[in-house]
Structure 1
């Protein structure tokens, strides 16, 4: 088990949303709240050591929700740049792990994150979520992997680490990732 109090939450909210069109997808209304705040509210009960949001081009005020906000001034450099910025900020604290979550996954639950933390076995931990077919965020990385997270490049993020780690299955509905207007339509129709 890794305690939440020894874990940094790194919320990635700096994607360019090219497939979604011209609007800030994280700010669109979903059930009376901006899409990007659903995961924030869902994880409020988890007592992370620190909460870090890596942002670019969103109107969301994540600082008002207890996040240290880090600006990604080059989102075109890919997901790995946001990951690196978040992990660098997290490493300024004495933490054992980082939990990487995406702001465009509005149905992630605290219960799923608690299961991940309970299953974790120390600094070598890599636990990714899975819909039973493919691994995805949220993902938990123990301290041993911080340097590897910092060395990632491009838009693949920590994909290779995630593939090699343990995969914790959750409902596909919980792990929906909103990348396109069609994804959002499926979310609102469900």
Structure 2
């Protein structure tokens, strides 16, 4: 009987928050701490290895200051300003081929819980793409990328995310509570609506 799959998490935190009106969305306070710190804590609590992709330290020293010592691999994406494809490629090149799958997690999605991430991981099937979804089946995050697609991920460039790569795949969707798999904070309106839920 084969053992459990060897999985890790890739947390993308290299974006420029261009649509947030000048604020760094990853430094906004969630539960009394910056969103990025909360997302790192949530990911580490899964027990899976964690790689975090960030902008160059000189461009985001405040983000780098939130990286805890040990327990994770933090690396700069020198071309993060060109788009998500650069961050994905940087992360997958660093991770290499020692894992059966990589759970891609976006740092601006505050509703995803440790249990959500573990649930997507639990549905791993060899060679398949698995992703979190809303209760009605709308695809969201995290996305579990199997090893056979790693080379394709390292070839991404610019603002090209994994969407085109995934269009050719039969995807296993894992329904997560409420809108956990879909809620992201891209704009001041997104942030305001999110905060209203806690009043």
Q: Which runs of 5+ in 1 are unaligned?
A: none
Q: For 1:38 and 1:45, locate their aligned partners in 2 and report how far apart those are by CA, in whole Å.
A: 11
Indicate conservation of the 8 Å contact 2:43/2:50, yes or no: no
Q: For 2:137 and 2:98, locate their aligned partners in 1 and report how far apart those are by CA, in whole Å.
A: 34
Provide, for residues 155-186 of structure 1, a one-character-per-residue CA deviation record: whole Å limited to 9, x for no partner: 23111344432222223432311101111111
Provide, for residues 88-115 of structure 1, a one-character-per-residue CA deviation record: whole Å limited to 9, x for no partner: 1111x62111111011111111212222
Aligned residues: 186
Question: Is 1:170–2:176 an aligned residue pair?
Answer: yes
Higher Cα Rg, which structure: 2
Question: Is 1:183–2:183 an aligned residue pair?
Answer: no
Q: For 1:107 and 1:37, locate their aligned partners in 2 and report how far apart those are by CA, in whole Å.
A: 14
Q: CA RMSD in A?
A: 2.1
Give the structure 2 partner of residue 73 of structure 1: 78
Q: Which runs of 5+ in 2 are unaligned?
A: none
TM score, norm. by length of structure 1: 0.87
Give the structure 1 partner of residue 128 of structure 2: 125
TM score, norm. by length of structure 2: 0.84
Question: Is 1:88–2:93 an aligned residue pair?
Answer: yes
Q: 1:7-46, aligned counterparts within 5 Å?
A: 7-46=7-46
Q: For 1:139 and 1:172, locate their aligned partners in 2 and report how far apart those are by CA, in whole Å.
A: 17
